[in-house]
Structure 1
Amino acid sequence: MGKILSLKGVNWQRNGQTILRDFNWEVHHQEQWGILGLNGSGKTSLLNIVTGYQFPTKGEVIVLDRSFGKTNLLELRKEIGFVSSSLERFDSSLKFETVEEIVVSGKFASIGLYEVVTKAEWEKADRLLDRFRLTYLKGKPYHLLSQGEKRRVLIARSLMGDPKIMILDEPCTGLDIVSREEILSLLKEIVKNSYLLYVTHHIEEISKEITHILLLKDGEIFASGLKKEILNDEILSQAFNLSVKVHWEEDRPWLTVRNREDIKMRS
């Protein structure tokens, strides 16, 4: 495979307003990316373009060696796993499904099971439950799960189709620290077989499995590259318009605000 992901000269406008401007970004083999930025920086719009739900107003998009405008996007999306806290809008549809039913439904990209499931597919779902330490939940209805358990189940579900790209869009939103660390511990399994795009507001979620950072600001790429080259005091202070200090522990970055008066001025 040549290009995992390539955006060249990408712009996107909505209602006459430019949301994304001059995006030039490539993802190569062996790279796992974290995508950072404040609210309104363009993260969601970028994901919508990568998954083919929005076409750029201008520019070229190539995902998994397939050029947009020349490929079947429905088929392409089958090779992209996607997990977001926004999927909780389907909770009412999922609430009486068992954990294993939800996981196996990922094979068909459906909310609910409407296909005949083979023995091999049930066995694969069982293996995913085991990989993600979810076997103890087998047979349990979805609505009885904690928020952290629900996210882990949805991640396992997204891997049923063996996606080549895995997108985790703020998967730790609303979770307590234990549940957050449980989610982050799964990344080492995900990157074994998928290219990861991990979207977050919080740099402490950039675990050792993530190798590169794309930092967005006001609809533009502010910085991109190896994570230790991007996640430093100077670059993040400029990106956030806030004086911050970054320190590293066990290959993970942690951020401290230097002057809290800056926050008061911005509120």
Structure 2
Amino acid sequence: MKQNNHWAIYGLGLSMKSDFMQNLLAGIVPDVLSSFRAKKGVLFSTYTLEKFIKEEVLHDDYTLSEAEHRSIRTFSSGEQRKALLNYLISLHPDFIVFDSVFDMLDVNSTQILTKRISELSEDIPVIQIVKRKDNLLPFIKNALRLEGDKICFSGTVTEYEQQFETENYIEIREQLPPPLEAIKAEQNPLIQFNNVCISYDKRTIIQDINWTINSGDFWQLMGPNGSGKTTLLTMITGDNPKAYGQDVILFGNKRGSGESIWDIKKKIAYVTPAMTTLFRGWNTVEKMVISGLVDSIGLYKKPTELQKRIAGQWIKIIGLDEQKHQRFNTLSEVHQCMVLIARAMIKHPPLLILDEPAHGLDDASASLLTALINKIAEEGQTTIIYVSHRKEPGLKPKQVFELVSSTGGSKGFIK
């Protein structure tokens, strides 16, 4: 039994490529972790998974999925994590480091993985990199806090929570800036699904979906992995050809009645953390926000003074006034996401879709992001669909549309 040798490590922005992490996996550790000295660890992380996926693409190395005779890229998030964990265990490491272990997993998958790791912890020490308090593995009692690569706290989890954990009540006091042009009122319902059923390869994904979204609504779309959330979103954005023949209304028009996909897309702002990979150039925060006015990836024309003034108001709302000339790709994850939301909202679009925006964030960062989203919902006219597999503390959607999986396809329920 190694119950007393499990650790939680808290550290804002701790990189899996940092010197601390690389030394830890090699058994080069500070005194407080002396039981791991000269031991060899393995890393269960999205970072590790992405390396295996890259090897598969570049060198046809199917290490994680060889037994299944298919690409690891075709696995669900839960299946990918299971395959990675099985492989790491087969290496017989001295300890395992788990990073953001439950990211993108639904409640059921989280419970299954928690049980598996708990059983594993009976035989091997576990170190968990913790971002969200409610994701802490239940058997871990020891805690470290890092600032950079330096330890600023060591003790029990209880002591850590007493010293560092406080309720995050964040208020954004700046008012939302007005749009550059008057907003034309959209016809209600904005979006409507009437008895919609979608199947792929004779497998029903969603069944008898009835969902009406009106202008100014704030919805959270929830459901476990594979329940059909992405299917619904692609029908709203016009990217799913299976919407044809279904009774789907988008912005006052029945799908397939002659509207183009561009007519649909120009009314929708879509934000997901994965979008940050599109903006790797030299664009500053200011240029990023202004680019939302011209629908470009980055800014390639000199902005007008009016454009700069409106962008400056949004930048002030997200608390980056002093960083407006800083490069976008040097910001923290939460500030990158907030810039993308400001960029999306600068034209006050009829519909804003936020797809897992809190993915990868710690509790404090998620609270900051939530405050911004609540602010937009309270003061703006934009309809919001917040997509997530979990309830986000502090988020204030007016209604929740939840997909519940069944053998005959997921059904939707309004909460």
Task: Give the TM interval when normalised to the shorter protein.
Answer: 0.7 to 0.9
Corresponding residue to 2:261 among 61, 73, 83: 73
The residue that corresponds to 2:276 in the other structure is 88
2:395 counterpart of 1:203? no
Q: Report the Cα distance in structure 1 between the residues aligned to 2:394 and 2:196, rounded to whole angstroms.
A: 26
Shift of 1:39: 0.6
Q: Match for 1:75: what amino acid? A: D
2:402 counterpart of 1:215? yes
Choose between structure 1 and 2: higher strand proportion.
1
Shift of 1:221: 2.7
1:120 to 1:67, Cα distance in 2 relative to 1, 3 A: farther
Q: Determine if contact 1:4/1:64 at 8 Å carries over to the other structure.
A: yes
1:206 to 1:166, Cα distance in 2 relative to 1, 3 A: farther
Q: Match for 1:117: what amino acid? A: P
- List gaps (5 residues or longer) in structure 2: 1-186
Shift of 1:164: 1.1
**1:1-267 map, 5 Å:** 1-55=187-241, 56=243, 58-70=245-257, 71-90=259-278, 93-115=279-301, 117-191=303-377, 192-205=380-393, 207-208=395-396, 210-218=397-405, 219-224=409-414, 230=415
TM-score using structure 1 length: 0.77
| Cα distance per residue 1:155-188 (max 9 Å; x no partner) | 1011122201111111000001111001000123
Q: Match for 2:272: what amino acid? A: S
| Cα distance per residue 1:140-162 (max 9 Å; x no partner) | 00121000110101110111222
Q: Determine if contact 2:216/2:384 at 8 Å carries over to the other structure.
A: no
Q: Match for 2:410: what amino acid? A: E
Aligned residues: 222
Q: Secondary structure at the match of 1:183?
A: helix
Q: Report the Cα distance in structure 1 between the residues aligned to 2:194 and 2:283, rounded to whole angstroms.
A: 42
Q: Secondary structure at the match of 2:374?
A: helix
1:222 to 1:64, Cα distance in 2 relative to 1, 3 A: closer
Q: Report the Cα distance in structure 2 between the residues aligned to 1:130 and 1:7, rounded to whole angstroms.
A: 38
Q: Match for 2:273: what amino acid? A: S
Identity %: 29
Q: Determine if contact 1:13/1:57 at 8 Å carries over to the other structure.
A: no
Q: Secondary structure at the match of 2:339?
A: helix
Q: Determine if contact 1:62/1:68 at 8 Å carries over to the other structure.
A: yes
Greater relative CO (CA pairs within 8 A, separation 6+):
1
Q: Match for 1:60: what amino acid? A: D
Shift of 1:88: 2.9
Shift of 1:124: 1.5
Per mean C-alpha deviation after superposition, the further-off stretch among 8-17 and 48-57 is 8-17
Larger radius of gyration: 2
TM-score using structure 2 length: 0.50
Shift of 1:58: 4.0
Q: Determine if contact 1:12/1:57 at 8 Å carries over to the other structure.
A: no
Q: Report the Cα distance in structure 2 between the residues aligned to 1:61 and 1:206, rounded to whole angstroms.
A: 32
Q: Report the Cα distance in structure 2 between the residues aligned to 1:121 and 1:20, rounded to whole angstroms.
A: 43
| Cα distance per residue 1:32-71 (max 9 Å; x no partner) | 1111111111111111111111132641221221322232
Shift of 1:110: 1.9
Q: Report the Cα distance in structure 1 between the residues aligned to 2:366 and 2:200, rounded to whole angstroms.
A: 34
The residue that corresponds to 1:259 in the other structure is none
Q: Match for 2:413: what amino acid? A: A
Q: Report the Cα distance in structure 1 between the residues aligned to 2:251 and 2:244, rounded to whole angstroms.
A: 21
1:105 to 1:29, Cα distance in 2 relative to 1, 3 A: closer
Q: Determine if contact 2:206/2:410 at 8 Å carries over to the other structure.
A: yes
Q: Determine if contact 2:215/2:381 at 8 Å carries over to the other structure.
A: no
- List gaps (5 residues or longer) in structure 1: 225-229, 231-267
1:31 to 1:58, Cα distance in 2 relative to 1, 3 A: same
Q: Report the Cα distance in structure 2 between the residues aligned to 1:121 and 1:75, rounded to whole angstroms.
A: 24
Q: Report the Cα distance in structure 2 between the residues aligned to 1:23 and 1:138, rounded to whole angstroms.
A: 43
Q: Report the Cα distance in structure 2 between the residues aligned to 1:206 and 1:64, rounded to whole angstroms.
A: 30
Q: Report the Cα distance in structure 1 between the residues aligned to 2:263 and 2:310, rounded to whole angstroms.
A: 21
